[in-house]
Amino acid sequence: MYLSNIKLSNFRNYNALSTELSSNINIIIGDNAQGKTSLLEAVYVLARGKSYKNTMSEIISWNRESSLLEGTFHKQYYKDHVRISLNKPNKSAIYINDKKANKRSALWENIQVVLFSPEDLKMIKEGPDLRRKFIDSGLNNTKPSYGNVLRDYSRALYQRNNLLKSLRRSNYGKETLEVWDQQLVHLGQKIIISRINFLKKINSITKEIHYTLTNKQEELKLFYISNIIKNGEDIDHLEEVYEKKFRQNLERDIQKGYTSIGPHVDDIRVTINDFDAKTYGSQGQQRTAALSLKLSEIELIKSEIDENPIILLDDVMSELDVKRQEKIIKYFESSQVFITCTEMNFEDFLENFNKKIYTIERGQIVKET
Ligand SMILES: Nc1ncnc2c1ncn2[C@@H]1O[C@H](COP(=O)(O)OP(=O)(O)OP(=O)(O)O)[C@@H](O)[C@H]1O
């Protein structure tokens, strides 16, 4: 799939922009603070209906009240024209082929996008939230209903945590706790099962990619770590076990004022040649493992839904050495890719690609080749 054009008004530091895009490689180059990431972010907003890092008020230009984004996504057999209007403080409307969509999920059910930022390269080294984000992004792209479950789970979790905090002071409303518990167990077990199945599928792809990136020196494996069910345990009884542990943890949860178990605190354990990559891996090994994980997300999407996702590389190329740059570029042969950079030191690898280079200055494309 690819985005053939993009039109922006009052989006971050872009007053107005309209351009055609390459269906393969799009390089967005410029000095710092000129608008490279903003353009990439605009592609993401068109695909997801929201930003990956800023609130709506933050993406609308400072001195404006509203913003408009438009673009046409081409899939194998049809195309969708997407128009999104954003209004301060927090209102948005999405139109697909001029028909108003009721939910943002109308976008993610149809459009696959993989974002890759320097933060992702820290996925192995840092805390579990980046690893959970990785798995959730993969699932959102391959199983659209997952996004709704995740959203409902987060809402229920927020409500339960608020209630837990108030129960520290008085028992008022304790009877409603059961409603949130039931919802969390029901939604939480769906999330855990989806994640375990996702890891089963992606494990073999990640292993192959990592073999290639490390010249067959390293074997990478992924394990789902849940505080409700142990790896390899029978997931048929998950709901029962989950309910029991929830009851056991209730007093502790009230004392702490938050829900201490569930998929929101789960993790992925990554091993390299059977040692724990987070504890024992060198920085280089951890970064290569993170790269393998992101590339395998792209490959899994390709095989699961028979569409190439749009790939957004925000400042990632400058973080990789030449060898790794060369190796990853071959995964972009048949995808649309957006690459932001301040310098083009990887041009040699892109000789045979269909590419467009956009030079950005103060929120404008000043050169296009
Ligand atoms: N809502 C907004 N309205 C107007 N300008 C904004 C808004 N939000 C951010 N900016 C400005 O837009 C400019 C471009 O930001 P952007 O992150 O796109 O830069 P960049 O070219 O990717 O820079 P870098 O190479 O440093 O990452 C920055 O100067 C930023 O302060």
Q: CATH number of the domain at 43, please.
A: 3.40.50.300
What is the torsion angle, in degrees rounded to the nearest 10, for the CA atoms of residue 137, residue 140, residue 142 and residue 148? 160
Rounded distance from Cα 57 to ligand 1 centre (Å): 14
31 found inside a domain = yes
Rounded distance from Cα 39 to ligand 1 centre (Å): 10
59 found inside a domain = yes
137 found inside a domain = no
96 found inside a domain = yes
Beta bridge partners of 113: 310
Range of the domain at 334: 1-112+307-368
Annotated ligand binding at 182? The verdict is: no
Rounded distance from Cα 32 to ligand 1 centre (Å): 8
Atom 19 of ligand 1 has which residue's CA nearest to it? 33
Atom 20 of ligand 1 has which residue's CA nearest to it? 33
- Return the best residue to mutate from 8, 11, 12, 27 for the ligand 1 pocket (most ligand atoms within 8 A of CB): 12
CA pair distance 329, 335, nearest whole angstrom:
10
Question: Would the pTM count as exceeding 0.90?
Answer: yes
Atom 24 of ligand 1 has which residue's CA nearest to it? 32
92 found inside a domain = yes
106 found inside a domain = yes
342 found inside a domain = yes
Annotated ligand binding at 321? The verdict is: no
Ligand 1: residues within 6 Å at CB? Answer: 12-13, 30, 32-38, 58, 61-62, 340, 342
Give me the tens of pLDDT residue by residue for the chain, a chain 369 residues long: 999 999 999 999 999 999 999 999 999 999 999 999 999 999 999 999 999 999 999 999 999 999 999 999 999 889 999 999 999 988 999 999 999 999 888 998 899 999 999 999 999 999 999 999 999 999 999 998 999 999 999 999 999 999 999 988 888 878 888 899 999 999 999 999 999 999 999 999 999 999 999 999 999 999 999 999 886 677 888 999 999 998 999 999 999 999 999 999 999 999 999 999 999 999 989 999 999 999 999 999 999 988 999 999 999 988 888 888 888 888 898 899 999 999 988 888 888 899 999 999 999 999 999
98 found inside a domain = yes
Instruction: Collect contacts of 47-51 with beta carbons under 8 A, ≥24 apart.
Output: 47/3, 47/73, 47/107, 47/108, 47/111, 47/112, 47/113, 47/310, 48/104, 48/107, 48/108, 48/111, 48/113, 49/84, 49/92, 49/94, 49/104, 49/107, 49/108, 50/92, 50/104
Report the domain count for the chain.
Answer: 1
